[in-house]
């Protein structure tokens, strides 16, 4: 798909099934675990054994990544002996895609047999106790887009994926969160692993000081421009989800702060901490039954 075409398309169940069947015909893997590698975290793919890579542009009707730091591959392989499928780069609402297109890979993963979804992202730290380089396990989210009416489930419901009104309580599965915390303790990562609430905004502009203070007041610990739409679609499909944020920059909460947030800073922190994220996810996957 040309990145400038059909960004607002709503793929039908039959089209999504066609994508899944194309992938199944061209790979030996039948994964039950899906992983989304966020900005600067695509090196997780290096941990896969015997990888089978599909560039997004080679997959029929699949969206294409347009953001620096997102390679644009769907990669099947073995991670800690488990069959997985990984998105090396995701799609964002701010690229011009509809939320239906943003969540296309989630529904394809469901049709491939994925039951557990691990979602990673780069996020700005709002909680003053968080430091740049910390890792946050998501316990909940605030979807500013959904509250304003932009939801990946908007429109007619496809019952073959899930019910019309899915519950979002415990959308970040309690057992998976505990398993991730236990894993981080075993790896001696507890000094930089936090737990908190992720706020999703539309982007691509970074937030103003007033907006960040608003997000702080309504309970957000970190803010980003992804993840939530994917989790909503995954819950609709009956998946269990684990969310992991890498805190790549500190939110500018004061008008006296002259620092400026930039995307290159996000990528640089991602490079420095990517090995630890890779280790955490690899050991976590090993414990999944």
Delimit the domains of the chain by residue range. 13-287
pTM of the model: 0.94
The pLDDT score that the predictor gives to residue 1 is 44
The pLDDT score that the predictor gives to residue 256 is 87
The pLDDT score that the predictor gives to residue 6 is 64
Q: Which residues of the chain have pLDDT under 50?
A: 1-4
CATH classification for the domain delimited by 13-287, as one of 3.40.50.1580, 3.40.1390.10, 3.40.50.300, 3.30.1360.30 = 3.40.50.1580
Look-up of token digits 């939801």 = 151
C-beta neighbour count of 28 within 10 angstroms: 9
Is residue 39 within 8 A of residue 268, CB to CB? The reply is no
The pLDDT score that the predictor gives to residue 156 is 94
Is residue 212 within 8 A of residue 253, CB to CB? The reply is yes
Is residue 102 within 8 A of residue 229, CB to CB? The reply is yes
Burial 35-61 (b: 16+ CB within 10 A, else e): bbbbbbbbbbbebbeebebbebeebeb
C-beta neighbour count of 117 within 10 angstroms: 25
The pLDDT score that the predictor gives to residue 4 is 47
């Amino acid at each position: 798909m040309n990145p400038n075409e059909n960004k607002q398309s709503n793929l039908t169940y039959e089209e999504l099934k066609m994508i899944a069947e194309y992938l199944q015909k061209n790979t030996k893997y039948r994964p039950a675990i899906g992983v989304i590698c966020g900005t600067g975290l695509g090196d997780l793919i290096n941990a896969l054994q015997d990888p089978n890579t599909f560039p997004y542009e080679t997959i029929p009707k699949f969206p294409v990544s347009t953001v620096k730091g997102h390679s644009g591959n769907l990669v099947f392989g073995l991670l800690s002996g488990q069959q997985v499928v990984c998105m090396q780069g995701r799609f964002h609402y701010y690229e011009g895609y509809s939320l239906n297109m943003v969540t296309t890979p989630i529904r394809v993963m469901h049709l491939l047999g994925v039951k557990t979804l691990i979602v990673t992202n780069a996020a700005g730290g709002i909680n003053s106790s968080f430091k740049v380089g910390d890792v946050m396990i998501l316990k909940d989210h605030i979807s500013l887009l959904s509250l304003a009416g932009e939801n990946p489930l908007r429109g007619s419901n496809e019952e073959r994926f899930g019910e019309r009104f899915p519950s979002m309580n415990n959308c970040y599965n309690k057992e998976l969160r505990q398993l991730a915390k236990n894993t981080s303790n075993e790896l001696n990562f507890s000094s930089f692993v936090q737990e908190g609430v992720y706020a999703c905004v539309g982007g691509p502009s970074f937030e103003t000081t007033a907006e960040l203070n608003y997000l702080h007041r309504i309970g957000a610990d970190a803010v980003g421009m992804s993840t939530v739409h994917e989790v909503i679609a995954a819950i609709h499909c009956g998946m269990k989800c684990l969310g992991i944020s890498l805190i790549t920059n500190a939110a500018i909460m004061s008008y006296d702060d002259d620092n400026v947030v930039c995307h290159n800073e996000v990528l640089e922190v991602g490079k420095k901490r990517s090995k630890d994220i890779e280790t955490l996810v690899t050991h976590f996957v090993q414990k999944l039954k």
